[in-house]
Chains A and B, each alone.
Chain A
Amino acid sequence: MTALLSARSQMGLSLAFHIIFAAIGVSLPLMMTIAELQWLRTREPVYRVLAKRWAKGAAILFAIGAVSGTVLSFELGLLWPRFMERAGSVIGMPFSLEGFAFFTEAIFLGIYLYGWERTPEFLHLLSGGIVAASGVTSAVFVTFVNAWMNTPAGFDLVEGQFTNIHPLKAMFNPAAIPEAVHMVLAAYCAVGFATAGIHSFFMLRRGRNRFDEVAIGIALTVGGAAVLAQGISGDALARMVARTQPVKLASLEGQFRTETAAPLRIGGLPDTNQRETKYALEIPHGLSLLAFHDPNAKVKGLDEFPAADWPNVVAIHISFQLMVGLGSVLSAVVLLGAFLNWRRNPISAHRAFLRLLVLCGPLGFMALEAGWFVTELGRQPWIVVGILRTKDAVTEFPHLELPFVLVSVLYCVLGCVVVWLLAAHVVANPIDRRADAV
């Protein structure tokens, strides 16, 4: 294993692991606050139990998110010291602000979790709201950093060094807002559907009950609204990518040749040797229309760029198709759910729909990871697009496979324990209150 591959694997694994917990840290607080708001409005005890259960889930997962996030902030330097030495001061602003947002989240989560009996109801609800808001804020700031790596801005490049740095301009680089919105919505979507899936599973086992019913209601509302908004956000993001990162757009669409009125390819397998995407269903004018809102627009193909600047086209194309496909499936499911609800049949009475929700449970997270692969693999071979190559940023530390193995083993064990604990606590039968004693 080369040093570069070890470092990339370790960074990729750490991010793929952290993103799950970060997404939960963004969304679960929103859902628990909604549940508590409902408890205060209706005084129906089932909402209070639900808020407590979800808060407990947030506590377990937030702690893992906090420590895995700490690992990441060090890994930036441990694995990519040359990147941090040169770019650290450009991306320092969003990271510093993220630090404070994260601080706020940790403080108010502490108050929320252990303050049920110690704070007035209003303050407690407010703490929940602050946790949800600061979770979103810190996710946004971190995504700003990633956006900067994709569309660097806010500096002059003099002999390879960043000079005349404007931290705010760097923070609000072209990709910043579209990418951050897409990320936050993805987090809501993933966690909403996962939670709805889990509670549907238990509803099928326990029989129809109010606890799982209200849980599915809140989770599906959050996840469903997010996945529908994701269509608009995805469009804005894709147009930004088309404008600023033509190589990435061409890779994710499997577009090898520059053409006007480019078709949209659904499915298919890019063949980098023959430079064509086979077996795809092609919709004429589709890509030009989507990427530039003009059916005859010219879309740059990969052949305009040296092959050394190509990312892994096959992996990106498949990940992108997977993300879009899963998003479409989830949108259809939530529209179906809304239709069933509108027909005055509570969703919980439809066993077939509940089974469908169980099947959809993991899809949101799969779409989230696939989307992350698209943006990260699509940035390669650059660590800062157009400026610094990933292979030139990796540390000179020998034996990089050792930390990779250490991190892998650690995260595997943690992942297993977390799943087991959640099963015991968050989704435990609400009639059994032993689990609520902590």
Chain B
Amino acid sequence: MAFLLACIMGASLVLYVLLGGADYGAGLWDLLSSGANKEGQKELIANAIQPIWEANHVWLILIIVLMFSGFPPAFGTIMTALHVPILLMLAGIVLRGSSFVFRAYSVLDSRTQRAYGYVFSMSSCFTPFFAGVILGAVSDDHVFVSQDVSLNGYVLNWMNPFTISAGVLTLALFAFLAAAYLTVEAPNEELRRAFRRRAGAAAAAGGILAILTFILSTRYARGLAEGLVHNELARYSEFAAFITLALACFALYKDSARVSRAMAAAHVGFIAVSWAAAQYPYLVRPGRTIFTSAASESVIRDIVYASIAGALVLFPSLGLLFFVFKDKRREKTAVLSVEAPLNIQY
């Protein structure tokens, strides 16, 4: 049962990466928007993430909740030892979410709107960076908590070349996803080409960073590196990630946006799966596995049932959301017009 709950958490992580991750990546492209159609790029990004980012964000909350319900000691360890990067990530989450709505609703004043836009895009970059750092830190054997005290301090236990590289890799993968998604959603040829170029650049950056992160892991995160090399699921996923990356690049070259979107999502999904498989059975290296930190069997069983019941409500709703907003055929009905003045006086 603990294994099943860990699988649910892993699936939530993959979904968070594929859906929420793309929203962060879109923020990076907002920051880097340039060229003649700069405003068009920003608008496309805003329209693409506006209706869905809050729902996508809930995956993160779900992962946290499942973790402290099912694996309380591991949760306590992470929250004690990684207080600093988690706090920084939280600050990023708050700033990203709030500045995004603030920007959307300050149409009447373009200067403040730009200021919020800047906060939005900056925080969209450093939030996934710290998320990657945290994932790196739980897999690199430096997080020790004994008697509720972090033995390696609160800064040096998570800051090393491997975790930094994992953070940048996360950002690059999210950027790749976002660019690939936006290529499909672009309303005109010019924007489509802009994001196609960006997807190619991000794919290259992601590939190089993945290799760099792996090399660094052999020095800083030996346990994880061993898992990446020896765990069978991890090996298959790495191979699949490599193939899908190649296919995504080929589809970009051939200008087939839908194929490259699917391949980009598969690539990033496989990277996440290979990390999770290599990390197995640890939640936090080196001390906490899913078996040593699991709550009692009956508790885990109840949480798994609750998750299944929740999923029965969740997935149809989520399907409806994406059907309403991401289905191209419905696009033309959605023209917003300024409405006529309303007479309200008696």
> What is the distance, in angstroms, from B68's C-beta to the closest C-beta of chain A?
4
Contact of B55 among A59, A110, A431 (CB under 8 A): A110
Which of A265-273, A322-330, A392-400 touches B?
Answer: A392-400
Sample of 19 A–B contacts (CB below 8 Å): A60-B101, A64-B98, A67-B94, A70-B61, A77-B75, A77-B78, A78-B87, A81-B76, A81-B148, A97-B306, A115-B324, A117-B336, A163-B296, A167-B299, A395-B79, A396-B149, A397-B154, A417-B102, A436-B338
Residue of A with least CB distance to B312: A100
| CB–CB B334/A96 < 8 A | no
Contact of B76 among A84, A113, A163 (CB under 8 A): A84
Known: A60-B101, A93-B69, A434-B108. A73 touches B54 (CB 8 A): no
| CB–CB B98/A67 < 8 A | yes
| CB–CB B97/A67 < 8 A | yes
> What is the distance, in angstroms, from B1's C-beta to the closest C-beta of chain A?
13
Interface centre among A103, A165, A167, A207 (most CB of B within 10 A): A103
Tell yes or no: B317 within 8 A of A by CB.
Answer: yes
Known: A71-B93, A84-B68, A97-B306. A103 touches B342 (CB 8 A): no
| CB–CB A99/B325 < 8 A | no
B68: chain A residues within 8 A (beta carbon): 76-77, 84, 88-89, 92, 95
Tell yes or no: B40 within 8 A of A by CB.
Answer: no
| CB–CB B108/A435 < 8 A | yes
A424 to B342, CA, bound (A): 18
State which size class the interface on B falls in: 35 or more
> What is the distance, in angstroms, from A6's C-beta to the closest C-beta of chain B?
13
Chain A 403-425 residues near chain B, CB threshold 8 A: 403, 406, 410, 414, 417, 421, 424-425
A67: chain B residues within 8 A (beta carbon): 93-94, 96-98
Which A residues are within 8 Å of any B CB, using their own CB?
45-46, 49, 56, 59-60, 62-64, 66-71, 73-74, 76-78, 81-82, 84-93, 95-100, 102-104, 106-111, 113-115, 117-119, 163-168, 207-211, 395-398, 403, 406, 410, 414, 417, 421, 424-425, 430-431, 433-438
| CB–CB A96/B101 < 8 A | no
B73: chain A residues within 8 A (beta carbon): 85
Which B residues are within 8 Å of any A CB, using their own CB?
50-52, 54-55, 57-58, 60-62, 64-66, 68-70, 72-73, 75-76, 78-80, 83, 86-87, 90-91, 93-98, 100-102, 104-108, 147-150, 154, 295-296, 298-299, 302-303, 306-307, 309-311, 313-314, 317-318, 320-321, 324-325, 330, 333-336, 338-346
| CB–CB A431/B102 < 8 A | no
A-B contact count (CB 8 A): 257
> What is the distance, in angstroms, from B137's C-beta to the closest C-beta of chain A?
15
A104 to B318, CA, bound (A): 8
B342: chain A residues within 8 A (beta carbon): 45-46, 49, 211, 430-431, 433
| CB–CB B299/A165 < 8 A | yes
A102 to B65, CA, bound (A): 12
| CB–CB B310/A397 < 8 A | no
B86: chain A residues within 8 A (beta carbon): 74, 78
B70: chain A residues within 8 A (beta carbon): 89, 92
B147: chain A residues within 8 A (beta carbon): 396
> What is the distance, in angstroms, from A178's C-beta to the closest C-beta of chain B?
23
| CB–CB A414/B94 < 8 A | yes
Residue of B with least CB distance to A85: B76
Contact of B57 among A59, A70, A119 (CB under 8 A): A70
A95 to B299, CA, bound (A): 13
| CB–CB A437/B296 < 8 A | no
Known: A63-B98, A70-B90. A99 touches B80 (CB 8 A): no
| CB–CB B335/A117 < 8 A | yes
